[in-house]
């Protein structure tokens, strides 16, 4: 299950060199209650908390340090409730990566993910966008309604990446974000200027709560 | 609870009673139908009032509640209390119909109505029967099915949504609110699931359309203990079944808040469009997840006098600090930003507005109430920065603003910044404004100063018999664009328990209804209740409600009010947002030449300085 992550060999040199930071827009789409906000919370704070249904869209950021570049993920965690459906294009337009999230214990959310997929393909899909199918709530094995094979074969058919996660236990969440980071570098980063550089303006430092690097240990070998 | 009130009312000779209405011959058939609905909703005899459309009083605006004030004239214009022509409340207006078994119809043409009732009656009766049989309660005449129903307390973990709608406890809720579509489809119920109540709502809709078929509008039904109020807004029908002793007008105002909260999420235009397209659309699809927001609103409506007064209470704050914060907001602007609002502990701290926006229209308190409820009702705003479409129904019911919402003090999440833009693409620019605001507030240590602020105690006024008050000043010419505000101390002993708080609010609601009565508005009411004495007073400058200990004399109360008014005058700058500053973000040169940002700021400074 999931993507095999490329191992990044340690390179002490990269640590001393100033690294470029590139902005990556990632959108989370899927039915209400599948765990998009819970995944986003895992990505950014490695926590699992009670959440309320999202209102409109929540914007969060998380830096991921790869060997040669730092990606600043700008995560648009959309609301799955139907009343927001009509405004969702506002949030997914121009995304470099889209996570189509469903709940493995609810078949209708799997159907819903496919509706989102169709909408993306129709309106916006470009070959360089990383589309990732995510079957969340992997911990609810006993209530599973969508098998992993089914998810995987949909992904294969439509050229998506696929991972099953659990925001509750944290299983595969970190790997998912890293996987997206690598794929974005490969698919999008290859095009000149596809990712804009992120310049920290001085005053942003003051409220710099979100850029700690939890991934340091697994992406690059620290001192 | 309601019985208690009733008794208090009688001992005091203040019977809160139904509005006057002429008795007409009973329309037996409709009466039967209504009593069937009554069997489900409440086991009391019923009396309906439905008037022809032309006679409907304008109840479309929340500000109507205050509009009546204009009809009063010749009040004292100073803050000095001048000789009082006191109106002691008496039971003289009470109607004979309170316990009447018959149905009174106030109608311009009763005869036609009776003829029509033949067909309508059938529908209503059938629907009502269907409901009652479904519940296995059978159809009884005037007697209460409650007597037969076993009292089963629902388990504590059940939410209101899972309540058994056939249970005794369900019926005994003080105030039910239902929203349905014109096609009779359930949309929202405050208690119990809409599905379980779909046939009840069907009956309600049948009633509405039955009366409509005679070119009338059903407005309310009175029974001994309950008032049923109907409000139709476009394709939505809102119904309130209340055993609180609030007036029809107050209840209709509350239904209007519910309607506006729905509009704030969906807009009026899109609701109309949806129902034009598909008459029996299930609006619950679009409102899924919003029940909590409506539940929260109804709880606030019951417990927060802001809704009754149609005014906003701001957080009391030293004017210098509020001024500083307003200026921070005023400086962090970007094109198309129209409102910058800071909220602390669910209370308004300050609001600054784009200049040209406010030139044409002012922000209505109700829109602020809806925003505050939206933010208070969900913890969703604690997750990062929110960018969401939102409609301010009184400002413009058909358009969305885009709201940037973010707490400035995670993880506590008590200070919330709300930036409203007309440009849906403006997220990054608006988020940048937040960073500037955050930075400036950090530099000035504003957050820790705000954290110390609390609402105030009535003891600070220094009047011994005064227990509580609500003071709402009216606009004065030089601040005509000001948001309607009021001030009120914390409710303290003996009003610290939920029940006692509610009892005091009910007394205020009663006083309010007398002051704003359509048929006989009063300027001054001195009301001796069992456990307290209340005095309400409305002038062209303010509206004041005070609550004293029971033994206070009239003379004492008047002296106390003079002192209170002096105290408020002295504390004015802390209790109210004065001269809300405006900024200009419109790139339109003709507008900005009339008063650019710097000009504006200067004049604001002067305004504040002149107060010192
Ligand atoms: N068992 C289990 N529950 C989860 C998992 N992820 C989320 N949940 C729960 O699912 C519910 C919904 O989670 P959210 O993250 O709010 O869902 P969402 O997709 O953001 O929903 P919307 O914001 O309404 O679109 C919450 O009660 C979570 O606690 C998971 O991996 N396993
Ligand atoms: Mg969410």
Distance CA B332, CA B529 (A): 51
Average predicted confidence (pLDDT) for chain B = 73
Q: Which residue has the higher pLDDT, B52 or A5?
A: A5
**Number of H-type helices and E-type strands within chain A:** 7, 6
CATH number, domain at B403?
Answer: 3.30.450.30
User: Is A144's C-beta closer than 6 angstroms to any atom of ligand 1?
Assistant: no
- pLDDT for B612 equals 22
Chain segment B204-213, per-residue pLDDT in tens: 777 677 666 6
Distance CA B120, CA B139 (A): 19
Q: Which residue has the higher pLDDT, A210 or B545?
A: B545
Q: Which residues contact A135 (CB under 8 A, 6 or more apart)?
A: A102, A103, A104, A110, A146, A148, A151, A162, A163, A164, A165
Tokens 């850029």 — which residue?
A211
Does position B598 have pLDDT exceeding 80, yes or no? no
**For residues B283-299, average pLDDT:** 90
User: In B360-493, which ranges are E strands?
Assistant: 385-390, 401-407, 415-421, 466-473
pLDDT band for position B29 (50/70/90)? Answer: very low
A55: chain B residues, CB-CB within 8 Å: 374, 378, 380-381, 386, 388, 405
Asked if the A13-220 domain carries CATH number 1.10.1200.10, the reply is no
Does position A169 have pLDDT exceeding 70, yes or no? yes
Contact assignment for B265 to A83 by CB distance below 8 Å:
yes
* Residues facing A65 on adjacent strands: A70
Q: Which residue has the higher pLDDT, B14 or A201?
A: A201
Residues B242 and B391 in one domain: no
Which residues 346-375 of B are in CB contact (within 8 Å) with A? 374
Residues B116 and B205 in one domain: yes
Ligand closest to the CA atom of residue A38: 1
A54: chain B residues, CB-CB within 8 Å: 380, 383, 386
Is B273 within 8 Å of chain A by CB?
A: no
- pLDDT for B184 equals 81
Q: State which H helix or E strand residue B46 sits in.
A: strand B46-52
Contact assignment for A207 to B435 by CB distance below 8 Å:
yes
Neighbours of A194 (CB within 10 A): 14
Is pTM beyond 0.80 here? Answer: no
Please identify, by atom number, the ligand 1 atom nearest to the C-alpha of residue A54: 23
For atom 9 of ligand 1, the residue with the nearest CA is: A35
Residues B54 and B198 in one domain: yes
For atom 29 of ligand 1, the residue with the nearest CA is: A50
φ, ψ at A57 (rounded to 5°) = -155, 140
Does position B461 have pLDDT exceeding 80, yes or no? yes
Q: How far is CA B331 from CA A40, B314, B441, in A?
A: 32, 21, 12
**For residues A28-46, average pLDDT:** 96
Residues B88 and B218 in one domain: yes
* Residues facing B524 on adjacent strands: B537
Contact assignment for B380 to A203 by CB distance below 8 Å:
no
Shortest alpha-carbon distance between residue A57 and chain B (Å): 5
Comparing CB atoms, the residue among B286, B385, B436 nearest residue A203 is B436
Supply B587's token pair: 């790139």
**For residues B470-499, average pLDDT:** 83
**For residues B385-411, average pLDDT:** 94
Contact assignment for A54 to B383 by CB distance below 8 Å:
yes
Distance CA B255, CA B290 (A): 16
CATH number, domain at B29?
Answer: 3.30.450.70
Nearest to B516 by CA among B66, B21, B15: B66
Q: Report percent pLDDT > 90 for chain B.
A: 42
Please identify, by atom number, the ligand 1 atom nearest to the C-alpha of residue A28: 19
User: Is A211's C-beta closer than 6 angstroms to any atom of ligand 1?
Assistant: no
Shortest alpha-carbon distance between residue B256 and chain A (Å): 21
Q: Which residue has the higher pLDDT, B16 or A170?
A: A170
Q: What is the DSSP letter of B345?
A: T
Does position A54 have pLDDT exceeding 50, yes or no? yes
Q: Which residue has the higher pLDDT, B107 or B362?
A: B362
Please identify, by atom number, the ligand 1 atom nearest to the C-alpha of residue A49: 29
Supply B333's token pair: 């602007």
Does position B67 have pLDDT exceeding 60, yes or no? no
* Residues facing A26 on adjacent strands: A75, A97
Chain segment B306-321, per-residue pLDDT in tens: 999 999 999 999 999 9
pLDDT band for position B578 (50/70/90)? Answer: confident
B424: chain A residues, CB-CB within 8 Å: 87, 90
For atom 14 of ligand 1, the residue with the nearest CA is: A35
Residues B215 and B293 in one domain: yes
Could you tell me the distance, in angstroms and rounded to a whole number, from the CA of residue A43 to the centre of ligand 1? Answer: 14
Chain segment A66-104, per-residue pLDDT in tens: 988 899 999 999 999 999 998 999 999 989 999 999 999
Alpha-carbon B567 to chain mean position: 28
User: Is A80's C-beta closer than 6 angstroms to any atom of ligand 1?
Assistant: yes
Residues B497 and B585 in one domain: no
Could you tell me the distance, in angstroms and rounded to a whole number, from the CA of residue A79 to the centre of ligand 2? Answer: 5
Q: Cα Rg for chain A, rounded, in angstroms? A: 17
The count of structural domains within chain B is 3
Q: State which H helix or E strand residue A148 sits in.
A: helix A148-158
Distance CA B105, CA B108 (A): 9
Nearest to B16 by CA among B455, B507, B362: B507
Are B228 and B240 spatial neighbours (Cβ–Cβ below 8 Å)? Answer: yes
Could you tell me the distance, in angstroms and rounded to a whole number, from the CA of residue A176 to the centre of ligand 1? Answer: 17
Which residues 114-153 of B are in CB contact (within 8 Å) with A? none
Residues B51 and B162 in one domain: yes
Contact assignment for A56 to B389 by CB distance below 8 Å:
yes
Chain segment B123-163, per-residue pLDDT in tens: 343 334 333 333 333 333 333 333 333 333 334 444 667 77
Chain segment B257-284, per-residue pLDDT in tens: 999 999 999 999 999 999 999 888 889 8
Neighbours of A138 (CB within 10 A): 23
CATH number, domain at B506?
Answer: 3.30.450
Chain A: residues touching B (Cβ < 8 Å): 32, 37, 40-41, 44, 50-60, 77, 79, 81-84, 87, 90-91, 201, 203-204, 206-207, 209
Q: Which residue has the higher pLDDT, A175 or A201?
A: A175
Average predicted confidence (pLDDT) for chain A = 83
Q: Cα Rg for chain B, rounded, in angstroms? A: 25
**For residues B64-85, average pLDDT:** 36
Are B333 and B586 spatial neighbours (Cβ–Cβ below 8 Å)? Answer: no
Residues B406 and B500 in one domain: no
B428: domain range?
Answer: 312-454+581-611
pLDDT band for position B214 (50/70/90)? Answer: low
Shortest alpha-carbon distance between residue A198 and chain B (Å): 13
Q: Report percent pLDDT > 70 for chain B.
A: 64
């Amino acid at each position: 299950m999931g993507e095999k992550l490329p191992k990044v060999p340690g390179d002490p040199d990269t640590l001393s060199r100033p690294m470029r930071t590139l902005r990556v827009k990632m959108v989370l789409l899927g039915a209400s209650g599948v765990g998009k906000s819970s995944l986003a919370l895992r990505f950014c704070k490695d926590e699992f908390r009670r959440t309320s249904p999202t209102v409109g869209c929540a914007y969060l950021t998380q830096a991921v340090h790869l060997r040669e570049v730092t990606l600043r993920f700008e995560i648009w965690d959309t609301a799955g409730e139907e009343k927001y459906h009509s405004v969702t294009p506002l949030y997914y337009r121009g995304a470099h990566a889209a996570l189509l999230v469903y709940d493995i214990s609810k078949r209708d959310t799997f159907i819903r993910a496919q509706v989102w997929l169709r909408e993306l393909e129709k309106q916006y899909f470009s070959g360089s966008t990383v589309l990732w199918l995510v079957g969340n709530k992997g911990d609810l094995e006993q209530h599973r309604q969508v098998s992993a094979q089914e998810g995987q074969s949909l992904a294969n058919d439509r050229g998506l990446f696929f991972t099953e996660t659990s925001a509750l236990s944290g299983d595969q969440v970190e790997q998912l974000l890293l996987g997206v980071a690598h794929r974005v570098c490969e698919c999008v980063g290859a095009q000149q200027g596809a990712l804009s550089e992120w310049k920290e303006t001085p005053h942003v430092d003051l409220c710099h709560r979100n850029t700690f690097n939890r991934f340091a240990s697994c992406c690059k070998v620290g001192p | 609870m309601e019985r208690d009130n009733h008794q208090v009312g009688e001992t005091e000779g203040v019977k809160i009673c139904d509005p006057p209405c002429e008795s007409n011959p009973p329309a037996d058939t409709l009466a039967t139908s209504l009593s069937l609905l009554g069997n489900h909703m409440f086991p009391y005899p019923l009396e309906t009032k439905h008037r022809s459309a032309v006679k409907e009083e304008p109840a479309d605006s929340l500000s109507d509640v205050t509009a009546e004030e204009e009809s009063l004239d010749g009040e004292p214009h100073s803050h000095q209390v001048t000789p009082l022509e006191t109106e002691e409340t008496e039971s003289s207006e009470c109607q004979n119909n309170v316990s009447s078994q018959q149905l009174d119809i106030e109608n311009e043409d009763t005869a036609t109505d009776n003829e029509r009732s033949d067909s309508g009656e059938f529908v209503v009766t059938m629907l009502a029967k269907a409901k009652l049989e479904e519940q296995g309660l059978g159809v009884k005449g005037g007697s209460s099915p409650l007597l037969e129903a076993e009292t089963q307390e629902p388990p504590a973990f059940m939410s209101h949504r899972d309540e058994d709608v056939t249970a005794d406890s369900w019926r005994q809720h003080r105030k039910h609110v239902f929203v349905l579509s014109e096609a009779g489809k359930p949309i929202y119920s405050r208690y119990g699931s809409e599905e379980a109540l779909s046939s009840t709502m069907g009956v309600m809709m049948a009633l509405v359309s039955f009366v409509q078929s005679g070119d009338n509008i059903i407005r309310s039904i009175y029974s001994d203990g309950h008032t049923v109020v109907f409000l139709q807004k476009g394709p939505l029908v809102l119904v309130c079944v209340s055993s609180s002793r609030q007036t029809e007008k107050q209840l209709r105002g509350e239904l209007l808040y519910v309607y506006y909260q729905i509009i704030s999420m969906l807009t009026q235009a899109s609701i109309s469009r949806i129902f034009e397209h598909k008459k029996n659309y299930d609006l619950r699809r679009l409102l899924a997840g919003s029940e909590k927001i409506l539940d929260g609103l109804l709880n606030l409506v019951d417990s927060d006098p802001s809704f009754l007064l149609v005014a906003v209470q701001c957080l009391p704050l030293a004017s210098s600090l509020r001024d500083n914060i307003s200026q921070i907001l005023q400086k962090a602007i970007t094109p198309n930003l129209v409102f910058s609002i800071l909220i602390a502990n669910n209370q308004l701290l300050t609001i600054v507005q784009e200049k040209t926006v406010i030139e044409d229209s002012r922000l209505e308190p109700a829109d602020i109430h809806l925003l505050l409820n939206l933010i208070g009702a969900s913890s969703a705003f604690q997750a990062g920065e929110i960018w969401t479409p939102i409609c301010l129904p009184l400002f413009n019911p058909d358009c969305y603003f885009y709201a940037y919402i973010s707490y400035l003090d995670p993880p506590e999440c008590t200070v919330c910044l709300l930036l409203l833009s007309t440009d849906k693409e403006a997220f990054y620019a608006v988020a940048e404004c937040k960073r500037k605001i955050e930075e400036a507030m950090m530099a000035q240590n504003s957050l820790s100063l705000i954290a110390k602020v609390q609402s105030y105690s009535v003891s600070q006024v220094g009047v011994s018999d005064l227990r509580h008050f609500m003071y709402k000043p009216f606009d004065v010419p030089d601040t005509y664009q000001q948001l309607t505000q009021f001030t009120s101390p914390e409710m303290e002993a003996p009003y610290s328990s939920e029940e006692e708080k509610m009892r005091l609010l009910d007394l205020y609601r009663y006083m309010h209804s007398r002051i704003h009565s359509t048929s006989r508005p009063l300027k001054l009411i001195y009301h001796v209740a069992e456990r307290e004495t209340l005095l309400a007073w409305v002038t062209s400058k303010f509206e004041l409600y005070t609550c004293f200990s029971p033994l206070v004399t009239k003379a004492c109360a008047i002296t106390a009010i003079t002192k209170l008014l002096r105290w408020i005058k002295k504390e004015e700058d802390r209790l109210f947002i004065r001269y809300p500053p405006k900024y200009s973000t419109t790139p339109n040169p003709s507008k900005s030449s009339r008063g650019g940002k710097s000009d504006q700021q200067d004049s604001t400074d002067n305004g504040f300085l002149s107060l010192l």
